[in-house]
Amino acid sequence: MASRNVLITGVTGNLGKAVARKFKEEGDKVFGVSHSDPPSTIDLDGCFRINLTNAKETSLAWEEIFKLIDRVDVLVSTVGGFAPSTVAGLKEEDISTMFSLNFFSTVNFVIPAFRKMISQKAGRIFLIGAKAGISAEARKAAVAYGLSKAALFNFAESLNWEGEKQGVVTSVVVPSIIDTPQNRESMPGADYSTWVSADQIASVIFYHASEEARLLRQPVIKAYGNV
């Protein structure tokens, strides 16, 4: 398979680094996007420092990106944030913050890439969802977070509706609990063997972006492990 141009947002995070490492190991050109300095452990082909919650800044950044690469083959959006909240305790700023970090940061970056993929008539987009975006029970302790993730599922449906006949496919990858140092620290008594690793999720994304999976149309990919 020829080398592809792969863009990964949130490349400094645990999942972002794992995805970048996987595609890079398989011979693709990997470009990272982050609000902070890129990880020194991965030899990226380029990295863009962007505040993705700022639509204007993101749009201007894409002008620079398109000067460097002539096509976008795969986009993996791992950017996001988490905060607990309940319905009874919900505040307007809770919703605003979660939608800014999880929804608008994704939409701002994905739409220019989607337009490019439409013009190419090919492309794969991966968004990171959450169980909390699927059910009220799963988001009972993180309502604002869950609502922002639920919006991503609807966004993906719209992308697929417009992109289906143009060769552009969008999938939402839904992990259960990702085995990260931060999650282990916050849940010290949990059974880590039931969690999924960032490397496992990266492999799932890589497969669904491969030529072998070209015919698949799976808008929701549940990577739950044993949870």
pLDDT, one tens digit per residue, over 71-129 is 999 999 999 999 989 999 999 999 999 999 999 999 999 999 999 999 999 999 999 99
Contact 145, 94 (CB under 8 A): no
The overall average pLDDT reported for the chain is: 91
Residue 227 pLDDT exceeds 70: no
- Mean pLDDT, residues 44-53 taken together: 94
* pLDDT of res. 39: 62
| pTM as predicted | 0.94
Residue 195 confidence (pLDDT) above 90: no
The correct answer on CATH 3.40.50.720 for the domain covering 5-223 is yes
Range of weakest confidence among 40-49, 56-65, 66-75, 109-118 = 40-49
For the chain, the structural domain boundaries read 5-223
| Ranges 19-28, 37-46, 214-223: which has the least confidence | 37-46
Looking up tokens 């996987």 gives: 22
Mean pLDDT computed over 26-46: 86
pLDDT at position 207, please? 96
Q: Give one DSSP letter per residue of 166-214, joined into a string.
A: GTEEEEEEEESSEE-HHHHHH-TTS-GGGSEEHHHHHHHHHHHTSGGGT
For residues 19-42, give the mean pLDDT: 88
For 76, the enclosing helix (H) or strand (E) is strand 74-77
